Amino acid sequence: MREWVTVPTAAGMRADAWLSEQLPEASRTQVRDLLAEGALLRNGRPCRKGERIVPAARYVLLHEPKPVALAPNAALPLNVIYTDDALIAVSKPAGMNCQPNAPTEQDTLANALLVQWPELSGIGDGPLTCGILHRIDRDTSGLVLAARTQQVYSAMRKQFSAHTIEKHYWALAEGNIHTPGRLEHWLAHNPRCPGRMIDASQWQNIKRPMRAETAFRPTQTVRIAGRVFTLLDVSIRTGVTHQIRAQLSLAGMPILGDRRYGGFLPAGFERHFLHAASIVFTHPKTGQACSLKAPLTPELEALLNAYGARKGTTLC
């Protein structure tokens, strides 16, 4: 059993958000379950998740969150790019989430990693993290890093937070783009359309906008169904949700196949053309610069080949 007397700065917070702060080791699902069970009491009565925190109130948690254990799934594809005693790098296929939203999910990258590295289940900032250091969208393919120890996880997360890790992506964006460019926005979750990011400067009363910077370099153009697209080498150091997709769309260059952000969807192509191609970081144990790359997936190569893209394009 745990007990707190709330401070004035917590006043007005939703109970689920406040409890998540008190239990950083718990997942959102665990917090939601605790509140649904009536395990959090405020001045002796059950507290609901949507309630607002009252200052100087006595909150009691009747029991700890139930343990969470993800199940390994050997049926999932796992393309390992690199591994050592500190890190694992894989190339994730499109159509797979990096991490589950609930312990019952069994079709994520985390479930695939646990087959070869069951010790990952205890690594990260939550029970569903499984050592995964950063996430890419479900329909984005390419490089994802995972840490093999908690110490390595913490060291690498510091590099991500300091924006010293550089990631390159391939993006096929609409338009005949001639010159390199840089995009800067303050992005935020759309309060009217969950799952979509917006330019916070165009809205009023947006809470917690996130600064996003995206640089791009055009490499070649292709014509698809009468439209011109440019293959971009995109680099980012920040890591905001949907960053590349949202910023290119805001700049009038939506990614091919990205229906959420206005991208054109050619017949027979069921994903967006965004691929995490390389990552450059400082190795947490050796201190040396480390650069890893993941080739385009077969379906992306096939699309480019079908429309006459030049061979041999390389990232900068």
Catalytic residue positions, numbered: 137
Q: Burial of 36 by CB count in 10 Å (0-12 exposed, 13-18 middle, 19+ buried)?
A: exposed
What tokens were used for 204?
Answer: 């009023």
To which residue do tokens 């303050």 refer?
186
DSSP readout, 237-269? Answer: SS--TTHHHHHHHHTT-PBTT-GGGT----TT-
Q: How far is CA 107 from CA 67, 116, 138, in A?
A: 20, 15, 11
Decide: 30 and 100 in contact? Cβ < 8 Å: no
141-147 and 166-174 beta bridge pairing:
unpaired
Decide: 39 and 61 in contact? Cβ < 8 Å: yes
What span, in angstroms and rounded, lies between the C-alpha atoms of 85 and 83? 7
Torsion of CA 231, 237, 238, 240, to 10 degrees: 30
Secondary element (H or E) of residue 298 = helix 298-306
Strands (DSSP E) found in the chain: 2-5, 40-42, 45-46, 58-61, 79-83, 87-92, 141-147, 166-174, 181-189, 197-199, 210-224, 227-236, 274-282, 289-293
Question: Cα angle at 215 between 176 and 256, to 5 degrees?
Answer: 45
